[in-house]
């Protein structure tokens, strides 16, 4: 029994230090596309669902994809919200800023809309081998009344990053996201 005592004491001493040991990670955000003036709005309205994705993409952590395919969280940095909610918010804001739709909302807003946009996060990470920020979203434009798919498309962007560290990773992922958002906004506003 006495041989267990030092091990128990070591565990108890380590517990309080677990939450205090490391520095607070930097928090990063993704930016929506800026407003484009005020072009004439159409009568269309759209609901943007929160994207789905594999479990690692459900977090607020920046992900690194190793050359062998393994995924890890990049220490020292995090997103300002869970990634799916952050992407949903930036899609909504970018569509609103385009000024082309009558309304853009979330499913919980209980606003009647003719269309729904659903998406899946296929990649949102730093490819460590090629040092690129990779954003890959699969998006479906659905007629809300019938539930039929009006159009579907995969949007991808790859942007080089200077290093695999939090600041460079977040900046690269933000730049790749802006490319994807611009493509999504053009696609939705073209009526697809």
Q: pLDDT tens, 69-87?
A: 999 999 999 999 999 999 9
Lowest mean pLDDT among 27-41, 46-60, 90-104: 27-41
Which of helix, strand or coil describes residue 169? helix
Domain that holds residue 146: 26-189
Is 86 part of any domain? Answer: yes
Is 177 part of any domain? Answer: yes
How many whole angstroms separate alpha carbon 93 and alpha carbon 153? 20
Please state, in angstroms and as integers, the Cα–Cα distance from residue 53 to each residue in 48, 60, 84, 186, following that order.
15, 13, 8, 23
- The reported pTM is 0.85
Per-residue pLDDT tens for 88-108? 999 999 999 998 998 999 998
Question: Phi and psi dihedrals of 127, rounded to 5?
Answer: -80, 105
Per-residue pLDDT tens for 137-188? 999 999 977 889 999 999 999 999 999 999 999 999 999 999 999 999 999 9
Q: Are 125 and 134 in contact (CB under 8 A)?
A: yes
Is 40 part of any domain? Answer: yes
- Residue 9: is its pLDDT beyond 60? no
Cα angle for residues 60, 84, 54 (degrees, 5° grid): 85
- Residue 44: is its pLDDT beyond 90? no
Is 7 part of any domain? Answer: no
Is 16 part of any domain? Answer: no
Is 20 part of any domain? Answer: no
Q: Which residues pair with 141 in a beta bridge?
A: 117, 151
What's the confidence (pLDDT) of residue 142? Answer: 94
Q: Which residues pair with 149 in a beta bridge?
A: 142
Q: What is the CATH number of the domain that holds 116?
A: 3.40.50.10610
């Amino acid at each position: 029994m006495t041989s267990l005592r030092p091990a128990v004491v070591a565990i108890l001493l380590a517990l309080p230090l677990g939450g205090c040991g490391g520095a607070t990670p930097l928090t990063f955000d993704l930016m929506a596309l800026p407003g484009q003036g005020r072009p004439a709005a159409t009568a269309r309205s759209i609901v943007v669902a929160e994207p789905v994705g594999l479990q690692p993409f459900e977090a607020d952590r920046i992900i690194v994809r190793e050359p062998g395919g393994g995924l890890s969280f990049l220490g020292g940095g995090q997103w300002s919200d869970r990634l799916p909610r952050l992407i949903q918010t930036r899609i909504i804001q970018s569509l609103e800023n385009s000024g082309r739709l009558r309304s853009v909302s979330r499913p919980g807003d209980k606003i009647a809309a003719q269309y729904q946009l659903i998406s899946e996060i296929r990649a949102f990470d730093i490819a460590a081998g090629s040092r690129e920020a990779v954003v890959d979203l699969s998006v479906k434009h659905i007629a809300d009344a019938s539930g039929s798919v009006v159009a579907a498309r995969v949007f991808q962007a790859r942007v080089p990053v200077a290093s695999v560290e939090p600041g460079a990773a977040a900046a690269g992922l933000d730049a790749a996201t802006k490319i994807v958002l611009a493509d999504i906004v053009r696609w939705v506003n073209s009526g697809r």
